Structure 1
Amino acid sequence: MSLDRGTKIYAAVLASICLGILLAWLLTLDFRLGEIDDMLQRDPLISSYPYPFRAMQIRGTTAIISSPRSSTMPAVKFIGLIKPSLKNLSDQDPKLITAQKELAAVQSKVRKLVVDREDIDRVEWRIDKEWFAEKGIWLD
């Protein structure tokens, strides 16, 4: 089947636009996010923790890393989600305090590994709304 001249021009313009959009999208990808995620998954302490820390964005030399805790989601409430046996314990219960220290140690290790990269100077933590939404918890 042969295309007329107008259809060929239209197809060429459409293909050029699609290639331009694809190229623009590829140029905005930051492959460092995947590198950071892979690095975190290779660490036994971090990868064995029930929450999957991940790189969300890089702005300049600042890595924005997902976090399970914030002012809207206190650590105690988060720990109750990943360890239901600790859900109804007092804030001063030794088991809950141990779980909080474990979370702090893992999060500290995440920060250290990320900041040890040559291209990252600091870490910002951002609450992982998607992870909580998957668990049926909607955060503002």
Structure 2
Amino acid sequence: MDRLTRNSIIISAILLVLLIISLSVSQNELRPRVWQLNELLEKDPVLASYPYQFRVLLFLNGVVTLTSPHASEVPLEPFLAKVDPKAAGKPKDSPEMRAAEQHFREIEMRAIQVMVSQPDIRSVVWSLDKAWYHKNRVPSGR
């Protein structure tokens, strides 16, 4: 084996080892940002204890799109009746339904706080989680 080939093999092996080391160290950095943000939501103890799990659908230019069981075109009461047994079967203006709505709003704000605590996130927008309504057989009003 000539000297040039030997040196090329040694340099290639060193570069390969350095690449493997850098990949193993920065494993977290190679995953898509959406996955990282979803892990943040899953690891938050307040959000993890709520029956609905918010998810990141899209992250683009500092704006995160989160799933939500509520949107302006869909009433919140069917969702609350499904996830909060105290609100099930209660009228919209009952104390149980108002308490369930207040709790949902607090959880929703927590999801926003978790997201905007990240330095690369400026704002959050919501996307109606139609799949949740379908999966749970809850009429979405549409």
Under TM normalisation by the shorter chain, which class is it? 0.7 to 0.9
The answer as to 2:101 corresponding to 1:107 is: no
User: Distance between the aligned counterparts of 2:39 and 2:71, measured in 1?
Assistant: 24
User: Distance between the aligned counterparts of 2:69 and 2:96, measured in 1?
Assistant: 19
- Which runs of 5 or more structure 2 residues have no equivalent in the other structure? 1-29
Residues 86, 96 of structure 2: 8 Å contact kept: no
SS in 1 for 2:57: strand
Tell me by how many angstroms 1:138 deviates: 6.5
User: Distance between the aligned counterparts of 1:59 and 1:138, measured in 2?
Assistant: 31
Residues 80, 101 of structure 2: 8 Å contact kept: yes
* Corresponding position of 1:118: 119
1:36-115 correspondence to structure 2 within 5 Å: 36-115=37-116
Tell me by how many angstroms 1:66 deviates: 0.4
Residues 129, 138 of structure 1: 8 Å contact kept: no
Tell me by how many angstroms 1:137 deviates: 4.3
* Corresponding position of 1:19: none
TM-aligned CA distance change 1:129 to 1:35, over 3 Å: same
Percent identical residues:
24
Tell me by how many angstroms 1:118 deviates: 0.9
User: Distance between the aligned counterparts of 2:109 and 2:31, measured in 1?
Assistant: 24
Provide the alpha-carbon RMSD of the alignment. 2.0
TM-score, normalised by the number of residues in structure 1:
0.72
Supply the AA of the counterpart residue of 1:52: Q
Supply the AA of the counterpart residue of 1:94: P
Tell me by how many angstroms 1:93 deviates: 1.3
User: Distance between the aligned counterparts of 1:92 and 1:137, measured in 2?
Assistant: 20
Q: Which structure's CA Rg is the greater one?
A: 2
Tell me by how many angstroms 1:136 deviates: 2.6
User: Distance between the aligned counterparts of 1:138 and 1:80, measured in 2?
Assistant: 11
User: Distance between the aligned counterparts of 1:97 and 1:30, measured in 2?
Assistant: 40
* Corresponding position of 1:32: 33
TM-score, normalised by the number of residues in structure 2:
0.71
